[in-house]
Structure formats: structure tokens, C-alpha cells
Structure 1
Amino acid sequence: MANIPRPPVDEAQIRACSPESAPRGASWTGAWVLVATILASSMAFIDGTITNVALPVLQEDLGASAAEALWVVEAYALFLAALILVGGSLGDHLGRRRVFLFGVVVFTVASVGCGLAQNPEGLIVARAVSGIGGALMVPGSLAIVGNYFSEEERGRAIGTWSGFSGITTALGPVVGGFLIENVSWRAAFFLNVPIALIVVLVALRYVPESFDPDARRLDLPGAALATLGLGGVVFALIEAPVRGLSDGLVVVSGLVGVVSLAGFVFVEGRSAEPMMPLSLFRSRLFGGANLLTFLLYAGLGGALYFLPFNLIQVHGYSATAAGSAFLPFVVLTFLLSRWAGGLVPRIGPRPPLVVGPCVAALGFVLFALPGTGGSYWGTFFPAIVVLGLGMSLVIAPLTTTALGAVDDAQAGLASGVNNAVSRIGGLLAVPVMGAVVLAAFSFGLEARLADLDLPPDAEERILADRNSLAGLTVPDGLSGEQAADVEGAVGESFVGGFRLVMLLAAGLALASALAAATILPSSRKGSPPGPSP
């Protein structure tokens, strides 16, 4: 979730864990366990949203191109999506607390590296290491909660974990935006340091170590092929618009990625204990739920990546205002998701999972309407509210459907797979939509500059910097009126690309609704059971 809200099955992953039968110590120890796991989970949730808000600012400060800004997000998302299933398995084998703490430390050291980065390349490398730390920290946090609390205590523990995680997720972008605006974008990454220090101290003192003697074998070949495959494909998607489709590096990386993903499917199909068992997808219901997840979260992740650029670079929002703009979405999904989950036992999964994506598609369309002006309340607020309402209808029913499609013994694995699918959707959608934005921006900018009476050398310099998108620097030597015209042309050209992205996201949301309508059961009779309270 580098740039998407919490994946749909985090709470379900907690429920799928088997609680330890060993003594847990004093009754109040559980509160400290929740403190450590909530803060650690929140670090990962907050990091993605803060990074998105920081991108327009750090792009200007570091002189990063649009492709390099994409890599800042994609480097993190790549390793998190590819390794998150292995991260959970490592905790079962080596100790959940040990792997969890190692992930926290790696994540924090990488965050410091992000804050100290002096160029885009250094920031991208640090973000990749952050993704590795997140892949160890996030599943470890969920497993510790599920492992520590008994069946009787688990409902209250999950409610506490979910509630406080929702609050920190909502406040994170606002606090991050404030730091970006009033201190530096670097301070947003340093924010993880004091949080991590608390997590480490509390976990060392209060979180017991635990193992799973019946843990599945580590699937290192699968993890390596997944990382290489996704990495190759993402590299080709990001670099093709800049280098060209015929560039040797783009062609080779794309081929390596596709061959590695094919190898991943081959290995998973023949492994005794694969990290992503293909047998799960023999269930029409499970396959349909994951197809819906992939399409909807691809649209959501791709669209939300470009929103802060539009708000900050085109509409002139401050970092704090941009961080606060998406707050209604977080509040709505937090308040309404549990209610929506209660619909499945009464009416079945199909109605909410058809209506929800359709409402979300309307929200994406509303994002495409604003131009380069207007107040927040009349432009982006309605779109964010409608999108939040749509996603509220989806999150809990999707969790119930995905887990209800498999046996109880496979619930933890199924929830991890669905989590990974949601992240992979965003991972692949962002560079595809980035190519769409760059093509539309370039076409629109050339057309608009042709209508302006600019010196040829100035026009040439502007077009040479088109890969910066809305962060393009207006060249010196132009009159005030000419500079304003260029800024207007840049803003309008970016909005043209932004609109295409939102319409593409709407199309993906409608495709997910179609998948739900054709694959999922139509009534309560065929619906899967919900997770136990």
C-alpha cells in the first residue's frame, strides 16, 4: 500500500492466526502488545500517503523527472508486494517477534536514508529497502496480534487495532503535510524514527516470542521469481515512455519480467508448499474476488498517485491542505465498512460488490471534471466523498467473500494472497497510468505552446523538460505575461492527462463490478460465511 488505503483483508489476517496456549503474563500486557503492533502498522500505512504528498515537493527539490518520481513509489511497492507473503512465513519459522523487530529496524533505517537522500537515485534505493522492511514488519504485526490474543479476547483486540490504525492513517497525511510545509519533506521520513523507537522498546519488553511448528516451508524460488518478474515488467513500463519501446534495456527487462512471471506460475504449480498456491484459484469465488480486487485497487492506486501532483502543482494547494484533502475518504471507509460487511449475510456478496465499484467509478468521473481552478468544496470534495462511499461498500464484503471461498485452514494464506493482489494491482497500474499522463501531457503541451508567441529557444527548453510534467520549470528570459501563459499551458496539459487517468480508473472500477456481477453468487444462499465476530 504504498499509495493506496489499507488493503481489504488486514483484519481477516489477524483472525486467521491461531492463538498461543502458553501463559501471556499480566492482563495489561495485551495493551502493550497492541501499542507495538498498532504503531508499527501505522508506520507502513502512513508512509505511503505521506510519500505521495511529499512527491511534488521532493521532485522539485531533488530535480527528479516524472519517471524518477514514479520509481520513488514503485521501488517500495515492488518489494512490499513481492515479499509480503515470504515475510509472514519467515516469522513463523524464525520467530514472529524477531522478524517483526528486524523489519521495524530495516524500515526505520531506510526511512532515515530517505530523509538524507541528496539525489533521486539515493532516494529510490532507500525506498526499495523500506519495502523489504515493510514486507517483514506488516505481516509480523498482524500475526503477533492474532497469535497473542485468545478467541474470547480477539474481537475486542481487532476492534482496538482497527480503530487506532484508522485514526493514525487519517492523521498521518495531515501531520506529514504540516511537516513538509513547515519543516521539510525530509522531516516526513524522519517521523518514523521516534515511532520505531517506541515500538522496539515496547516489543522487547512485552511482546512474547512465538513460532509455528507447522509452518509452511519457505518458498524462496517463488519469492525470487516474483520479485524479478514484477521488477522487470515495472521497469519496462516506467522507462518505455522515456527511453522508447525499442530501447534495448526496456525490451530485455520486459522479456525478463514476463519470462520470470511465467516461471513463477510454473514453480508455484509444482511446489509442495508454494507461497501462492494456484489451487486456491480453482475456486470460482476466490478467483472472482481476487479479479475484482486487482481491477479496483489498480484503478484506486493509479488514480491516487496523481492526485497530490494535481492539488499541489496545478491548483496551488499547500502540502498540509493536500494531505487533508483525502481525509473524508478515510473517515467514510472507517465508519461505514463494518456496516457494509453486515450486508453479506443478508443479501449476499454480489449487490455490494457490484454497486460499490459503480459508485467508486462515479467518484473517479467526478475527479475528471475540475479544470485548473475552483474551490476544494466544489471540485475535489464531492469526488472524494463519492469514492469513499463506493469503497466503503466494497472493503468488508470483499474480505468476507475472499475468505469464505476457502477452508478455514487456508484462511490465513488466502487473506495474504488477496492482500498481495491488491498491492500488485496498484504496483502495475501506476506506471501504466504514468505513461498515459506523459503522452497526453506532451501532446497537449506541444499544441498549447504552438499557440503562444514564444522565442524558439524557450519553447525548445520547455519541451525538453516535459518529462517533469506539472513540475516543469518555466525558463528564464520570458516576460511576466509569457511566463503566466506557459504556466497555464502546463497546468491545462497536466489536467488533460489527469482526466484520462481518472476515466481509466473509472473503467477499471466498472470492470470490477462486471466481474462481480458475472462470477459472484447472486443471493444470500450462495454467499460465503462472514468472519467470526
Structure 2
Amino acid sequence: MVEHLGWESVFFLNVPIGIIALIVATRTVTESVSEVERQLDVTGLVLGTMALFFVTYALIEANQLGWGSARIVGSFVLFAGFLVAFLWWELRNPHAMMPLRYYKIPSFSAGNAVAFSVGMGMFATFFFLTIYMQSIHGYSPFKSGAGFLPMTLAIIATAPNAGRYASTHGSRAPMTFGLLLTGVGLVLLGVLLTPTTSYWLLFPIYLAMGVGLGATMAPMTAAVMNSVGPQRAGLGSAMTNTSREVGGVLGIALLGAILTTELKSAFAPAVAGLGLDPQQLAAVSEGARHGSLVTAGIGLTPAQSAGLQQAFNDAFMKGFQPALVFAGAILLIACVIANRLIPGRETVEQAHAAAAADHKEPVPVEM
């Protein structure tokens, strides 16, 4: 779709999926009813959105405007102000959209921390791996998407089994295993990836990372939802999704800042000796700021085009490699958090033993 209809067309793909999901959900999902009447937290929504907007803007634009520019510094100040106001409001609002008291529950806070880390470390990496495959290896959009199929299929195969394992043995083990596998995979990519790396070297790493993500996601959601009980399961799931989405937004901005800072510092000296005129240099530099290389339509000789491509490849990797290692480190830290705070087998066994002693069915427990 991207290759033939444009990148905007990808958003229409979600329409039939959403319709099918709505029909299935209305027929199969039991409605949960809360004893407490809920109200829309408009003030919290506005404050949280503004805080997220300013920090994302600052991280994305800092490389172009300069980290010390008044606009960037002002954006960080506004982010801090809106964040403090958001937290203050959520602590005092009886109908808060993000009830902060739930973060006192270890498995709830740990599950959301893991969701945030997965969004920041892993999902943001998909974006830059796509740029790597298209800009460095010259893959088409379709071929780049097909390159992720091993990871996608591994997630599909692993996630249901991980969920069943977590329901019996707790979420700690699959989450620890999955985050460790995914984090190590990202670190390996950061160490091994070069402009000439074969896809067949990436294949087993993608496969292992898919198994890791599949082993993490379902147990993570189960741990958070069970920590707040069935009446708040919807709220727990929503907060987990929010943590993951916010992590993804900030991850793209932060990893993008790491990548473009290194790319810019390495690319400018490399192209200085290629004999580009000011107009050509301006066009090339503008593309490089956004992680792409412009060589067509600006009157370059074949030797200049080849030299620019080589310079861009080397400069891109100097920024991409530390970004991948940083992303892997985030997931390894999340692995430690999950291992320390997510309930494991002993919690499930104690709950089931207590239920059996009372001649009852096993009850839901934190996983």
C-alpha cells in the first residue's frame, strides 16, 4: 500500500480491522461494571497532552534549532510545568483519568514501566530499522515490511502460549525471559549492524526478538489487569496501552535525537571535500537532518552521488548503533524491574491453594 498508494494509505488498513474487532467484541466480551460512576477528566487530558506535546517537540526539533535555543529551552520548561500541573490535578481529582494511587501496587507500576520501556526501546526501533533498510540497503517499502515478517510470525506463535503459561505460573518468568531476549537482540544489532550487513544475519535476531516480544506482551497486560481487579480491568488495560504509546512517542523522539546528532556531526565533515556548490550542499544537509539522503535532481555527478552515499551510510551508522544499544539497555533495565516486582509462580500457587482449602474455584491473581 505504501509503495503504490502512498504512506497515507496505511491508516485506512485499520478501518476494516477496527470494524471486525468491534463486531467480535460486542458478541464475545462481557461488559464490566464499576460500582463507582466515572466522569471524563477533561482537565487531566489537556494537561497531559500539553506536557507530552512540548517534550516531544523539544526532542525532535532540538537538533535543528540547537539544544540551547530559546524555543527548545522554553519547550522543556513548559513540559515540566504542565507535567507538575498534571500530577497535581490527578492526585486531587476524584475522577482522575490516571489514578496515581494504583502505582502503589508493585505489579501495576512494574507492568506499566515495562510497557513504557517496550514502547520506547522496541517499537521506536522499528521506525529506524525501516529507514535503515530503505535508505542504506535500498529496499522498497514492501520489501522492508516483508523483512519484519519473521518477527511478526514469532510474536503470533509465542503470545498465546505465553499467556497460558502466565495464567498458571505467573507473569514473572515469561516477562523476564522475553525482555532479556529482546534487549540482547537490540544490543547485538547495535554491535553487528553495518551498511553492508546481510539480511540473513538479521533474520535470527529478528526471530529471537519476536519470541521475546510475544513472551512479554500478554503476561504484562495480565499482570496489570489482575493487579487492579476485574472491575478496574478496563482501566488497567487502558493505562498499559497509554504507557506503551507514550513510550513509543518519546522513544522515536529520543532515539531520533541520538541518531541525528551523531549523523549531523559525522556527515558534514565527510561531504566537505566532494566539491558541492552551496545549493547542493543545502539540499543534501536538509535531507540528512531528517535521516534521508537527497541525490536526485540537484545536478550531482556520478562520483559525487557515490561519495555522498558512502558518507551518509557511515554517518547514519555512527548514530544508529548507539541508539540501538541505548534501546537495548532500556529493555534490559525493564527485565530487572519485571523480575523483581512482577508476581511469579509462588503467588499463583498460594492463591490456588487457598481457594482449594475453601473448596472454591481458583481465583484470579496478580500475574
Residue 466 (1) aligns with residue 295 (2):
no
Per-residue deviation, 1:522: 4.9
Shift of 1:487: 1.0
How far did residue 494 of structure 1 move? 1.3
Cα 1:398/1:211, change in 2 over 3 Å: closer
1:180 corresponding residue in structure 2 = 2
**Cα distance change on mapping 1:358 and 1:188 into 2, 3 Å:** closer
The whole-number CA distance in structure 2 between the counterparts of 1:342 and 1:326 is 25
Q: Given the alignment, which residue of 350, 364, 370 partners 2:193?
A: 370
User: Which digits, 9 at most, give the CA deviation of each residue in 1:494-522, with x for residues without a partner?
Assistant: 12222222111100110101111222335
2:49 — aligned with what?
227
Match of 1:339 in 2: 161
Match of 1:516 in 2: 338
Can you give the 5+ residue segments of structure 2 that lack an aligned partner in the other structure?
352-362
RMSD: 3.1
CA shift for structure 1 position 412: 1.6
In the alignment, does 2:62 pair up with 1:240? yes
**TM-score normalized by the length of structure 1:** 0.59
Moved more, 327-336 or 342-351: 342-351
Shift of 1:231: 1.0
Q: CA deviation at 1:375?
A: 3.9
> Offset of 1:491 from its aligned partner?
1.8
Is 1:267 the counterpart of 2:92? The answer is: no
Tell me how far apart the structure 2 counterparts of residues 311 and 356 of structure 1 sit (CA, whole Å): 25
- Spell out the pairing of 1:183-202 with structure 2 (5 A cutoff): 183-189=5-11, 195=16
Structure 1 residues 215 and 328: CA distance shift in structure 2, 3 A: farther
Q: What does residue range 22-41 of structure 1 map to in structure 2 within 5 Å? A: none
Residues 130-529 of structure 1 mapped to structure 2, 5 A cutoff: 179-189=1-11, 195=16, 215-368=37-190, 369-376=192-199, 378-450=200-272, 452-455=273-276, 457=278, 462-463=284-285, 465-473=287-295, 476-525=298-347
Give 3-state SS (helix, strand or coil) of 1:371's partner: coil
The amino acid across from 2:194 in the alignment is G
Q: Deviations over 1:54-102 (max 9, x none)?
A: xxxxxxxxxxxxxxxxxxxxxxxxxxxxxxxxxxxxxxxxxxxxxxxxx
Contact 2:183 2:332 (C-alpha < 8 Å) held by counterparts: yes
Q: Shift of the alpha carbon at 1:347? A: 3.6
Kept in 2, the 8 Å contact 1:469–1:494? The answer is: yes
In structure 2, distance between residues paired with 1:422 and 1:465? 30
Aligned partners of 1:294 and 1:421 also within 8 Å:
yes
**2 CA distance for matches of 1:464 and 1:416?**
39
**In 2, distance between residues paired with 1:238 and 1:416?**
26
Secondary structure of the residue that 1:394 maps to in structure 2? helix
Alignment partners' CA distance in 2, 1:320 and 1:239: 29
Letter in 2 for 1:454: G
Please say if residues 51 and 79 of structure 2, whose CA atoms lie closer than 8 Å, have aligned partners that are also in contact.
yes
SS at match of 1:470: coil
Alignment partners' CA distance in 2, 1:248 and 1:354:
43
Asked if 2 retains the 8 angstrom alpha-carbon contact of 1:400 and 1:530, the reply is: no
**Alpha-carbon contact 1:235-1:254 (below 8 Å) kept:** no
8 Å CA contact retained: 2:150, 2:207: yes
CA distance in 1, matches of 2:157, 2:55: 37
Q: Is the 8 A contact 1:344 1:524 kept in 2?
A: no
Describe the shift of the 1:328–1:507 C-alpha distance in structure 2 as closer, same or farther (beyond 3 A).
same
The letter for the 2-side match of 1:285 is: S
- TM-aligned CA distance change 1:504 to 1:197, over 3 Å: closer
- Identity among equivalent positions (%) equals 26
What residue identity is the alignment partner of 2:54? Answer: G
Kept in 2: contact 1:365–1:506 (CA 8 A): yes
Equivalence for 1:58: none
> Does the Cα contact within 8 Å between 2:172 and 2:338 map onto a contact in 1?
yes
Aligned residues: 346
In 2, Cα distance between equivalents of 1:188 and 1:240: 29
1:362: how far off? 2.0
Q: CA 1:292–1:198 in 2, change beyond 3 Å: closer, same or farther?
A: closer
| Corresponding residue of 1:100 | none
Q: State how far apart, in whole Å, the 1-side matches of 2:157 and 2:61 are.
A: 40
For 2:290, what is the secondary structure of its paired residue?
Answer: helix
Q: Determine if contact 1:222/1:268 at 8 Å carries over to the other structure.
A: yes
Distance in 2 (CA, whole Å) between partners of 1:390 and 1:396 is 11
* Aligned position for 1:74: none
